[in-house]
Amino acid sequence: MCEICEVWTADDLLPCRICTRVFHDGCLREMGYLSTDTLQEMRDAAHTATGWSCYYCDNVNLLLTEEEMYSLMETFKQCKIIPESCLVADEVLQYKHFVSKRLFDKDLSDEQEEEVLAQFSALDPEKKGQIEWSDFLYHESLGVLSKFRTENSLVRLLTAKERERARWVFLGLDQDRDGLITGGGTSAGRSSPGSRNTARSRSLAT
């Protein structure tokens, strides 16, 4: 049953790869979660091994605690970053310098600046000179999770479908069934069709 209209039409329901929700593409368009330009791309992705994630699961900042989100937004405010607005490279660099100064009591090195600019370019494939607010928030939320959460706490954030997919990938790599996989095996897993190898997986975290 479609999560939005609550009507069952099995032929055109699109399942989320992460949660158990399913959607009509028409309902997603009407709610503003999907544009006409990206419709075919979403349909194609939904029918691949990798799959498609819904607007709820794609919103990584929902995984942050209230305190983490408040701290992140306060940092944006101190850096004069306006929510819902696009960001240019200088704004991202200023923000990264501020975070580095606060966490490590030092500015970014020249090498770190180059890395931030390279990551900015990766998020600006059309070379417009700016990145979307949603992409910036997404990556900074990932940065918070990677910096301040333990591996065990991150594992607990996985949904049942994600745990099952991870188990399936692990079993596929555990050729001798000893419960262990090698470094080479994990590299193969990262490049498998079931992996999350998308452009949005790049993080601006330094």
- Is the confidence at residue 79, as pLDDT, over 60? yes
Helix (H, G, I), strand (E, B) or coil at 20: coil
Residues 39 and 87 reside in one and the same domain: no
Residues 78 and 145 reside in one and the same domain: yes
Split into its structural domains, the chain has a count of 2
pLDDT of residue 114: 95
Residues 54 and 67 reside in one and the same domain: no
Is the residue at 21 inside a domain?
yes
pLDDT of residue 156: 81
Residues 71 and 30 reside in one and the same domain: no
Is the residue at 2 inside a domain?
no
Whether the model pTM is above 0.85: no
Domain end call among 23, 42, 58 = 58
Residues 103 and 127 reside in one and the same domain: yes
Summarised one tens digit per residue, pLDDT across range 109-137 is 999 999 999 989 999 988 999 999 989 99
Domain that holds residue 97: 63-206
Residues 46 and 95 reside in one and the same domain: no
Summarised one tens digit per residue, pLDDT across range 60-72 is 888 899 999 999 9
Summarised one tens digit per residue, pLDDT across range 134-191 is 899 988 998 899 888 888 888 888 877 777 877 888 888 877 777 777 765 554 544 4
Residues 191 and 112 reside in one and the same domain: yes
Question: What distances in angstroms separate CA 107 from CA 56, 73, 101, 116, 169, one per listed residue?
Answer: 35, 21, 5, 13, 40
Task: Select the more confidently predicted residue: 140 or 34.
Answer: 140
Residue among 151, 85, 142 nearest 119 (CA): 142
Is the residue at 102 inside a domain?
yes
